[in-house]
Chains A and B, each alone.
Chain A
Amino acid sequence: MTRYIIRRILIMPIIVFGVSILIFSLLMLLSPVERVALYVSDIPHTANAVDRVIAKYGLDDPMHIQYWRWLVGQKDEDTGEIKGGILRGDLGWSHTAQMTVTEAIGQRFPPSAELALFSVIPMLGIGIWLGVQSALHHNKAIDQVLRAFSIVGYSLPTFVFGLVMLLIFYSLLGWFPPERLSFWAKAIVYSPSSGYTQYTHMFTIDALLNGRTDIFVDAIKHLVLPVIGLSYLNWALVLRVMRSSMLETLRQDYVTTARSKGLPEKLVINKHARQNALIPVATIGGLMFIGLLSGVVITETIYNLHGMGLLYADAALNLDIVTLLGLAMFNSLILIAGNLAVDIAYAIIDPRVRLTA
């Protein structure tokens, strides 16, 4: 197992390097003139202004030189300041957010993380329970109904489901509004004189830390629809994996042994079968959580939740490539690190992987 983990860790820098090359190549798909347009804010007034910017920043230099500059930054000859350089944590200026991309990530990450934290529990809990029910009643009516339910969930586009939920529960019934807080709550949260401190920028946690249960309830109310939406769309996958893994486990010899020992069926299923069947679900559960962390573009767009996903959507609409690539870099780093963590955890909990690798 140690060898497997070491190999995985050694490969990681190669992948990160590759990702940086890929992102840089996306940037290089644009011509030098288009790249000037990304970084200057107003229309140049003289004819050769664009050429001067290209010459100053070497935007038509050979690729590898530009790549190096993109990594470590470049010294501005006029001011002597070093600018840019993703290794220095400078991902550029985001026109969409009107702040640097790094600042934007710091501000937009907490809402996405909050949504992810609240979604992952019903997503996995209910999904696993449904999968077990489906497997225990294999090919019977319950199984068929649950499978149909899961295929429908899997097929429903996020934006259709989200908008229909808003149609029913907001437009028609007025129960659950979009956005993250109501007006009165926002007035308290954002007012400097109210004595309300935003510790984490996750509204539910901040509300508890400030002892404001009314704001906490309001924040939860705003999370209900997106959490239901995300859970339903992901139950399908959890259910399917749990079902087939459970069916596989139920056919193992040790389950038969447990049964023939005369153990009650409930104990056989809960102790012997389900524990082992959970292993593959743990993997996809981890991956799903990582996916949620990087922001769910469409859900955040529909409910107007100002997280990473909505920033991504807005940047795409403005063709704000700087923001898009900066966020893409950040997201893939999360994904790579998360994948590594999941794989290592998998190797630790599953003895079969431990022995063969």
Chain B
Amino acid sequence: MTGRKIFKQLLSNPLSLSGLILITLFIIVALFAPIIAPPPERARDPYDIPRLGYFSEPQPPSAEAKMGTTEGQYDIFYGIVWGTRTAFRVGLICTGATLVIGLLLGTISAYYGGALDEVLMRIVEIFQAFPFLLAAITMSAVLQPKLGKGIWTPIVALVAFGWTTYARLIRGDVLTVKQREYVDAARVIGSSDLRIITRHILPNAIFPTMVVASMDIGTYVLAFAALSFLGVGVQWGYADWGQIISFARNWIPLLATYWYIIVFPGLAITLFVLAWNLVGDAFRDILDPRMRGAKGA
């Protein structure tokens, strides 16, 4: 199926269409963040949320802070807008890095097979013997003394335990493509392994995995926010959705009064993840030929 045809199908389904619209909106917010929420003059880092004082009680939405402030007077609106940039950075870096590692190991494993395959797959199993979030939390805590608090510690932790799914998927894809006649033909005419892999196998094997991967942006953003929420992610006051929401933990009995400290940032992250899942779900249906034109009872 060609790219254009898939795109057409995505546009015709109301669920995936709304997903695409949401993603576009988030991209616009991320691109124009300096205009939508201009950082204060002489700000050291635009990702540091400006504070409107040091009072400990959250303040309701006002002209100064459009969505109110958290405890310690961090501007929620500013945090959400710049948090969109953080989300895209985290999502793209994590999926990109895990995909490259998975692609490399999965292809080598499937193409050469034998003992190498056995060893690599056992390593994958060992990594998967850790529950993903718990592993990421542990890794993040271990890395914190080395890398400090910030965006990179949780990213490295997520990548370290995230690559295994792709390695497995790619391996499966390459195994099927490897059997095709044109691969044999390439080998007969004396093509090198590298050429066979890059020119003949990967272009035909990689597509389903790429699709799965692109949808994982939402999942990684979710996991990253969870780490920040638990306090092993970015530093205090960094523009990150999970970090803003973590302030709400101290105000649980009074959440009905301070609803804005959970509702606005919660909406931002939910819509972001939802958008990717809507498109991803439609993708999976389009790519699964068994579901095409299928009729139930």
Interface residues of A (CB under 8 A from B): 11, 14-15, 18-19, 21-22, 26-27, 29-30, 34, 135-139, 144, 147-148, 151-152, 154-160, 163-164, 166-167, 170-172, 178, 244, 246-248, 250-251, 265, 269, 291, 294, 297-298, 301-302, 312-313, 315-317, 319-321, 324-325, 327-328, 331-332, 335-336, 339
Q: What 6 new A-B contacts, CB under 8 Å, besides A19-B129, A29-B146, A312-B137?
A: A15-B122, A138-B296, A155-B277, A160-B266, A317-B231, A331-B130
Q: Decide if B295 is an interface residue (CB 8 Å cutoff).
A: yes
A18 cross-chain contacts in B, Cβ below 8 A: 122-123, 125-126, 129
| Complex contact B226–A163 (CB within 8 A) | no
| Complex contact B134–A297 (CB within 8 A) | yes
The 5 A-B residue pairs with the shortest CB-CB distance in the complex, in nearest-first order:
A138-B296, A18-B126, A160-B266, A155-B274, A167-B255
| Complex contact B256–A332 (CB within 8 A) | no
The residue on B at minimum CB distance from A333 is: B129
| Complex contact B126–A167 (CB within 8 A) | no
| Complex contact A294–B131 (CB within 8 A) | yes
A136 cross-chain contacts in B, Cβ below 8 A: 296-297
| Complex contact A29–B142 (CB within 8 A) | yes
| Complex contact A170–B270 (CB within 8 A) | no
Give CA–CA (A159, B245) in the complex, Å: 8
**A interface majority secondary structure:** helix
| Complex contact B137–A324 (CB within 8 A) | yes
Give CA–CA (A166, B249) in the complex, Å: 11
The residue on B at minimum CB distance from A144 is: B15
CB within 8 Å for A302 and B249 given contacts A157-B226, A316-B140 = yes
Q: Decide if B291 is an interface residue (CB 8 Å cutoff).
A: yes
A-B contact pairs, 11 of them (CB 8 A): A30-B145, A155-B222, A156-B273, A163-B255, A167-B259, A170-B253, A170-B255, A171-B253, A265-B297, A317-B232, A328-B135
B290 cross-chain contacts in A, Cβ below 8 A: 248
Give CA–CA (A14, B124) in the complex, Å: 12
Give CA–CA (A65, B139) in the complex, Å: 23
Q: Decide if B78 is an interface residue (CB 8 Å cutoff).
A: no
Q: Decide if B158 is an interface residue (CB 8 Å cutoff).
A: no
Give 1 or 0 for each of B266-288: 1 = CB within 8 Å of chain A CB: 10011001100110010000000
Give CA–CA (A154, B275) in the complex, Å: 11
| Complex contact B252–A247 (CB within 8 A) | no
| Complex contact B15–A147 (CB within 8 A) | yes
**B interface majority secondary structure:** helix
Give CA–CA (A138, B229) in the complex, Å: 38
B131 cross-chain contacts in A, Cβ below 8 A: 291, 294, 331-332, 335
A41 to chain B, nearest CB (A): 18
| Complex contact B129–A335 (CB within 8 A) | yes
Q: Decide if B263 is an interface residue (CB 8 Å cutoff).
A: yes
B294 cross-chain contacts in A, Cβ below 8 A: 138, 247, 251
CB within 8 Å for A297 and B137 given contacts A22-B126, A250-B296, A328-B130 = yes
Give CA–CA (A32, B167) in the complex, Å: 34
| Complex contact B133–A297 (CB within 8 A) | yes
| Complex contact B266–A34 (CB within 8 A) | no
Name the contact of B137 in the complex, choosing from A14, A21, A170, A316 (C-beta under 8 A): A316
Give CA–CA (A317, B230) in the complex, Å: 7
| Complex contact A147–B141 (CB within 8 A) | no
| Complex contact A335–B145 (CB within 8 A) | no
The residue on A at minimum CB distance from B293 is: A139
CB within 8 Å for A151 and B262 given contacts A157-B269, A171-B256, A317-B232 = no
Name the contact of A297 in the complex, choosing from B122, B230, B277 (C-beta under 8 A): B230
The residue on A at minimum CB distance from B281 is: A151
Give CA–CA (A14, B121) in the complex, Å: 12
Give CA–CA (A166, B231) in the complex, Å: 20
| Complex contact A163–B297 (CB within 8 A) | no
Q: Decide if B144 is an interface residue (CB 8 Å cutoff).
A: yes
Q: Decide if B127 is an interface residue (CB 8 Å cutoff).
A: yes
| Complex contact A171–B255 (CB within 8 A) | yes
| Complex contact B262–A138 (CB within 8 A) | no
Name the contact of A171 in the complex, choosing from B127, B129, B252, B296 (C-beta under 8 A): B252
The residue on A at minimum CB distance from B218 is: A155
B266 cross-chain contacts in A, Cβ below 8 A: 157, 160, 163-164
The residue on B at minimum CB distance from A140 is: B296
| Complex contact B274–A26 (CB within 8 A) | no
| Complex contact B270–A156 (CB within 8 A) | yes
The residue on B at minimum CB distance from A336 is: B129
Q: Decide if B138 is an interface residue (CB 8 Å cutoff).
A: yes
Q: Decide if B43 is an interface residue (CB 8 Å cutoff).
A: no
| Complex contact B122–A321 (CB within 8 A) | no
CB within 8 Å for A26 and B232 given contacts A160-B262, A335-B130 = no
B54 to chain A, nearest CB (A): 23
Give CA–CA (A262, B137) in the complex, Å: 57
CB within 8 Å for A324 and B229 given contacts A15-B125, A138-B294, A160-B266 = no
| Complex contact B252–A166 (CB within 8 A) | yes
The residue on B at minimum CB distance from A290 is: B131
A37 to chain B, nearest CB (A): 9
Q: Decide if B143 is an interface residue (CB 8 Å cutoff).
A: yes
A137 cross-chain contacts in B, Cβ below 8 A: 296
| Complex contact A301–B295 (CB within 8 A) | no
Which residues of chain B in 204-254 are interfacial with respect to chain A, using CB atoms and an 8 Å cutoff? 218, 222, 225-226, 229-232, 242, 245, 248-249, 252-254
Give CA–CA (A325, B134) in the complex, Å: 10
Give CA–CA (A326, B252) in the complex, Å: 31
B226 cross-chain contacts in A, Cβ below 8 A: 157-159, 297-298
Query: Which of A315, A316, A317 has the most chain B CB atoms inside 10 A of its CB?
Result: A316
Name the contact of A163 in the complex, choosing from B130, B225, B262 (C-beta under 8 A): B262
| Complex contact B130–A332 (CB within 8 A) | yes
A151 to chain B, nearest CB (A): 5
| Complex contact A160–B245 (CB within 8 A) | yes
Name the contact of A15 in the complex, choosing from B129, B249, B273 (C-beta under 8 A): B129
B216 to chain A, nearest CB (A): 13
